[in-house]
C-alpha cells in the first residue's frame, strides 16, 4: 500500500479562502492522504465551510480547539492527530498544484530525503497571480535557515517514520521557522525542489504582513528559543531587515 501523507492545516477565520484550499487537496493526483484541519476557535463561517467537506470526504478531519491558542499550538495539535508516514504542511489560504504531493514524494523517495520544500509563486487576496516566484535552494542547513529562510511553509513535507513528530515552539509569529530549526537539529539538511508546486496568498491583514512587528518575534526566536547570543541575534535581525528592504525595492 502507498504511504499515507498527513496534511497539516491550522485555521482561524479563514472561511473566505479555506474552501479553495481544500479543493486543491481533493484534486491531488496522489490519493492516499488525510487532511487534518484544526480550528483555533474561528468566529466566521469556517466550520460551516469545512463541514460540507468532512461529510463528503472522510479523509478530511476537523478538530476545534477548546480555546483560542495561536498558530503554534494549533499546528502542534494537528501533528498530534496525524497518522501518516509523511507530514505535509498547508496553510488554510494557500493552494497546491494538482501534482504537488506525487512529485514531492517521488523526489523524496528517489533521493532518500527526509525533509524537503519546493519553490512557490505568489497570488493576491483574490487569487490573481503576482508574477513572482520564490525559489528555494538545493539544500539548506540550520545556519542557512537562520540566515535567510528559503522555506515556504505550505511547501514543506517530511518523513515522520524517520524523524518522528515535533512540538512547534509557541510563539505567535515565526513559529514555522522555529519548527524548521527544530527539525534541522535532527536532520542535517532540508532539500529544495525547483518545481513551483504551491501558490502563496498575500493578504493585507495577514499575521506576517507587519514587518516592524515581526522584529520582536525574531528576537524571541533567536534569544528565547534558539538561545543565540545577543550579538548573533542582533546580526540576524539586521540581516533579515536588509533582505526585506532589498526585496521591497
DSSP string, 202-219: P-TT-TT--HHHHHHHHH
Nearest CA to 40 among 27, 25, 50? 50
Nearest of 126, 154, 123, 150 to residue 138 by alpha carbon? 150
Predicted local confidence at residue 165, as pLDDT: 96
Q: Give the model's pLDDT for residue 6.
A: 98
Per-residue confidence (pLDDT) for residue 208, from 0 to 100: 47
E strand segments, 162-242 = 190-201
Nearest partner of 227 among 172, 140, 164, 146, judged by Cα: 146
Q: Residue 215: its pLDDT value, please?
A: 75
CATH superfamily of the 5-204 domain: Spore Coat Polysaccharide Biosynthesis Protein SpsA; Chain A (3.90.550.10)
Q: Which residues of the chain have pLDDT under 50?
A: 207-209, 248-249
Closest CA to 127 of 197, 196, 198, 201: 201
pLDDT value of residue 231: 80
Identify the helix (H) or strand (E) that includes residue 63: strand 60-64
- Predicted pLDDT at 105: 98
pLDDT at 160: 98
Question: Do 154 and 115 meet the contact criterion of CB atoms below 8 Å apart?
Answer: no
Centroid of chain to Cα 210: 19
Q: What are phi and psi of 87, to 5 degrees?
A: -120, 130
pTM recorded for the entire structure = 0.90
- 10 Å CB burial of residue 234 (0-12, 13-18, 19+) is middle
Distance CA(148)–CA(240), nearest Å, equals 7
| Grid cell locating 106 | 517521488
Amino acid at each position: 500500500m502507498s504511504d499515507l501523507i498527513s496534511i497539516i492545516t491550522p485555521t482561524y477565520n479563514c472561511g473566505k479562502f479555506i474552501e479553495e484550499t481544500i479543493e486543491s487537496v481533493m484534486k491531488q493526483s496522489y490519493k492516499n492522504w488525510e487532511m487534518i484541519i484544526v480550528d483555533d476557535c474561528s468566529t466566521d463561517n469556517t466550520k460551516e465551510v469545512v463541514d460540507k467537506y468532512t461529510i463528503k470526504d472522510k479523509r478530511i478531519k476537523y478538530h476545534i480547539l477548546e480555546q483560542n491558542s495561536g498558530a503554534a499550538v494549533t499546528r502542534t495539535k494537528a501533528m498530534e492527530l496525524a497518522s501518516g508516514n509523511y507530514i505535509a504542511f498547508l496553510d488554510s489560504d494557500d493552494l497546491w498544484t494538482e501534482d504537488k504531493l506525487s512529485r514531492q514524494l517521488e523526489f523524496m523517495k528517489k533521493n532518500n530525503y527526509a525533509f524537503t520544500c519546493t519553490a512557490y509563486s505568489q497570488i493576491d487576496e483574490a487569487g490573481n497571480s503576482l508574477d513572482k516566484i520564490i525559489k528555494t535552494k538545493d539544500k539548506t542547513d540550520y545556519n542557512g535557515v537562520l540566515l535567510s529562510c528559503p522555506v515556504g511553509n505550505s511547501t514543506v513535507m517530511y518523513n515522520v517514520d524517520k524523524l518522528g513528530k515535533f512540538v512547534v515552539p509557541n510563539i505567535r509569529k515565526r513559529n514555522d521557522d522555529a519548527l524548521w530549526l527544530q527539525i534541522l537539529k535532527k536532520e542535517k539538511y532540508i532539500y529544495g525542489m525547483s518545481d513551483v508546486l504551491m501558490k502563496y496568498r498575500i493578504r493585507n491583514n495577514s499575521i506576517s504582513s507587519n514587518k516592524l512587528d515581526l522584529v520582536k518575534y525574531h528576537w524571541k526566536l533567536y534569544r528565547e528559543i534558539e538561545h543565540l547570543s545577543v550579538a548573533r541575534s542582533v546580526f540576524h535581525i539586521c540581516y533579515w531587515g536588509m533582505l526585506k528592504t532589498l526585496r521591497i525595492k
